[in-house]
Amino acid sequence: MENEIKVFCSATIANISCGFDVLGLALDGIGDEMIVKKTIKKGITITKLTGQKLPMETHKNVAGVAGLALLSVSDYNGGFEIEIHKKIKAGSGIGSSAASSTGAVWAMNKLLGEPFTNMELVKFAMKGEELASGVPHADNVAPGIYGGFTLVRSYDPLDIIKINTPKELYATVIHPQIEVKTSDSRKILKTNISLSDGIKQWGNVGGLIAGLYTEDYDLISRSLKDHIVEPIRSILIPAFDAVKSESMQVGALGCGISGSGPSIFALSKGKENALKVAAAMKGVYNKIGITYDIYVSSINLEGVKIM
Ligand code: ADP
């Protein structure tokens, strides 16, 4: 069995308009890299961290915390050394913390001969998410581990379903260079919703799932609507309404907040349309002088993978 592997840790889009805290998808075009090595020394040591200023102490880094959760129930007697090479900026809303949590536990499981199921790996990775945002949410780590689109049908007991990904679906993501902490963008949410908003929302979740399975792009488009979270959170994101309306005008199927923001995502049918959406999004931010990173990506059907 190998002693060391290098993995691609996919960036992820959580929520996907109508599916707050339950839907997510994995991206191909952006992700971190990690090198994970078995050691005789017990525990987890983060030996290198490039690309971002983040804590390297095991208990303060999500990779360390998720890894310790796995080790606490494993009969393996040794430990692991982890190198993290960040490409995803922390607080970007495309699962920076989730990439490190999932990469660590997926690679460790691989090096141990895969004793744990994907569902168990998600549970370990959720411990990392708890450190990052105070809430052990699974909507970024589930697509990171399973790949493609995922639905967290239930948190207690944890029940994750991998959903079909239509072949021509592409994502465009723009990250305006301001930081929104997940913990802060959770604080502004209301804890109650009206029955009429609930009815619209679960109609759309059902429609989106049906559209993904039947590869019905019109149905996907009609269902990519968020009546509950987007109206509140979008105020934290510069020119959200303009980015959304310009994207829809050039043919996006839908456009919304990626995770807790500030990144904005759009889904399109085909790469050509996704590139048109990217140009439209850039146009809005160039006009008002906001710097950004932008990605056009196919959907990553595998999630974390060996490089
Ligand atoms: P995102 O949704 O982009 O992951 P969050 O705000 O949820 O952003 O998570 C970033 C937080 O997690 C930051 O406070 C950061 O210091 C902390 N963190 C700890 N370890 C890591 C890591 N390996 N990668 C990214 N963020 C980490």
pLDDT tens column, 123-169: 999 999 999 988 899 999 999 999 999 999 999 999 999 999 999 99
Q: Which of 32, 96, 185 to mutate to test the pocket of ligand 1 (most atoms within 8 A of CB)?
A: 96
| Separation CA 144–CA 279 (nearest Å) | 27
| pLDDT for res 76 | 96
- Ligand 1 pocket, Cβ-based, cut-off 6 angstroms: 54, 61-63, 84, 90-98, 100, 132-133, 181-182, 259
Amino acid at 70: L
What is the per-residue pLDDT for 290?
A: 95
Tell me the C-alpha distance between 29 and 127, whole Å.
Answer: 26
Q: Which residues of the chain have pLDDT under 70?
A: 1
So what's the pLDDT on residue 230? Answer: 96
Residue 195, pLDDT score: 97
72 C-alpha vs ligand 1 centroid, how far in Å?
22
